[in-house]
Amino acid sequence: MKKVNYFEIIHRYIPPDSRLYGVYIPHVTLVTAKALAIGKRLKLTEDQLQFIEEAAMLHDIGVIKVKAPEIGCQGELPYICHISEGRKILEAEGLARHAVVAETHIGVGLTEKEIILNQLPLPARDMIPHSLEEKIICYADLFFGKHPRKIWYERSVEHVKATVKTYGDRQYQHFLEWHDLFTSSS
């Protein structure tokens, strides 16, 4: 599997001297470290681990298109749009598999029905992680936020459970399944 130079891609979209870079890099690095630890615990192949590293480092690249001044995002779109915008960016970079991670990493993923029902400003299609690697990155992302004062702190399992429970029963059940799978000692 050919290695992706994710820092080259990140630097193409997020200047290293920007406020966003100072939030983006710690966040994706922490998510990547947690995802890789899970992958190693599950004895994934080197190719799977390489993909997790690359996709986790790029999963939030779409934030450049959204409006979130508190973290240095000067775009015009609502924050949730970073998932579909990230997919577009990574597809344009020729990274179709990585693009799926960008689009499906929010919460435990979104169904087409949830997007329509909640009138989310996203394309009406399922945005659900399917592969093990996609699920691992999605799970790891739940434990880290982008708030500048809390960037280095990992959320507790109890905190994540409580948050995910507010999304709905489907989401909560998926999280519990993933938690059991990713933390079991077998």
Q: In CATH, what class is 6-183?
A: mainly alpha
Residue 24 near residue 13, CB atoms below 8 Å: no
User: pLDDT band at residue 10, thresholds of 50, 70 and 90?
Assistant: very high
Beta-bridge mates of residue 109:
107
pLDDT digits (tens, 9 = 90+) for 54-79: 999 999 999 999 999 999 999 999 99
Rg (CA), the chain: 16
* Model confidence at 185: pLDDT above 70: no
pLDDT digits (tens, 9 = 90+) for 104-140: 999 999 999 999 999 999 999 999 999 999 999 999 9
User: pLDDT band at residue 7, thresholds of 50, 70 and 90?
Assistant: very high
pLDDT digits (tens, 9 = 90+) for 157-184: 999 999 999 999 999 999 999 999 999 8
Q: How far apart are CA 52 and CA 105, in angstroms?
A: 12
Residue 175 near residue 108, CB atoms below 8 Å: yes
The pLDDT assigned to 55 comes to: 98
* Model confidence at 186: pLDDT above 60: no
Q: For all residues of the chain together, what is the average pLDDT?
A: 96
pTM (predicted TM-score): 0.95
- Give the pLDDT mean for 85-102: 98
Q: How far apart are CA 22 and CA 71, in angstroms?
A: 9
Spans of all domains in the chain: 6-183
